[in-house]
Amino acid sequence: MKPPFSVIFLTTLIGVGQGLFLALYTGQLYSLFDLLPDQDSRSFYATGSIISLMFLGAGLIASVFHLGHPERAWRSAARWRTSWLSREVIVLPAFMGTVFLYGMAHWFHLNTPVIELAGSRNVDITLILGAVGTLLSFALFVCTGMIYACLRFMQEWHTPLTPLNFILLGGASGFLLASVFAAIVAPELIVFFAGWAIVLTLLALIGRSATLWRNSRIKPKSSLSTAIGIKHPHIVQISQGSMGGSFNTRAFFHGKSANFIRAIKPGFIILTFVLPLILLAVGLSAPKLLIVAFVIQYIGLLAERWFFFAEANHPQNLYYQKVA
């Protein structure tokens, strides 16, 4: 497939925003049970929510460039009963609205107890909004991943590993950004967020490696013989049969050489997983390296998402392989 850069930025940016929100709420839950020190509502939770919204908003803006007619964008939510894309279009603004309310609740210190728990622990509106936001965040990860995983004819995508990788990669990048944020606002939380970032990055490496291993062993269900309806053991396409490209060759094929594809795979593995893990381990004693780790990992995520699209081989490419 031809990687659409608008969707690449959409999925990676909202993934960071989702992961950062999950990190903030995880920290709040830990502090509720006295496992982490309490943080100032405005400087930590409200400001963190604003940063999360910035990434989510940037992803939403990037998605507009993927639309042929942006003025008709509202129609994309009409098929929510059957379309994962429509569900994503509905869940994304709902999640953004919840993150906004979560941040505002912290900003205005709306911490009046709603539910009283044992041990003098109280559940306020921020915890309830955080729980709703967590559910919406995972729902958004699933919707985004299932847009691709539900396509049976795209064998590289049609696997439960696709939405799982979206969750793990978004979580890893979000917790890494949370460790950067903690280094500036709450240094006592660096070890907590960086530790979770290491765990999630390792899990994401395992999940993505499993996908690469699976896809390298896929046996295509179709062949050039089935594409043109001729049963012959040796069929080779010499030309598309026209003087130039067509919509098929432009929209469904990345146009890069085999050497380029082979080079980008180890490249994104190093940038997304290896270097960030090293920098995270060192960054526990040198917090400034956490910023470098986040930047490198996000560049790696862009390369990973590009490869995610480019690796998928649309069945129509069996016929439209070459341009004259």
Domains of the chain: 5-318 (1.20.1630.10)
Beta bridge partners of 5: none
In order of 32, 263, 295, the CA distances from 303 in angstroms are 38, 11, 13
- Segment of 109-113, 120-124, 214-218 carrying the highest mean pLDDT: 214-218
> In which band, very low, low, confident or very high, does the pLDDT at 117 lie, cut at 50, 70 and 90?
confident
124, 143, 138, 31: which is closest to 79 by C-alpha? 143
Beta bridge partners of 139: none
Query: What DSSP element (H or E) covers 209?
Result: helix 190-216
Please count the CA atoms within 13 angstroms of the CA of 236 that sit on its side-chain side.
2
Three-class DSSP category at 81: coil
Q: Return the amino acid letter for 169.
A: L
Q: Measure the CA–CA gap between 45 and 249, rounded to whole angstroms.
A: 48
Instruction: Give the dihedral of Cα atoms 246, 306, 17, 43; nearest 10 deg.
Output: -120
19, 70, 1: which is closest to 203 by C-alpha? 19
pTM of the predicted model as reported, rounded to 2 decimal places: 0.92
How high does pLDDT run on average in the chain? 90
Place of tokens 């992803």: 59
Is residue 305 within 8 Å of 11, Cβ to Cβ? yes
| Digit-coded pLDDT (tens) for 50-83 | 999 999 999 999 988 877 676 666 777 788 889 9
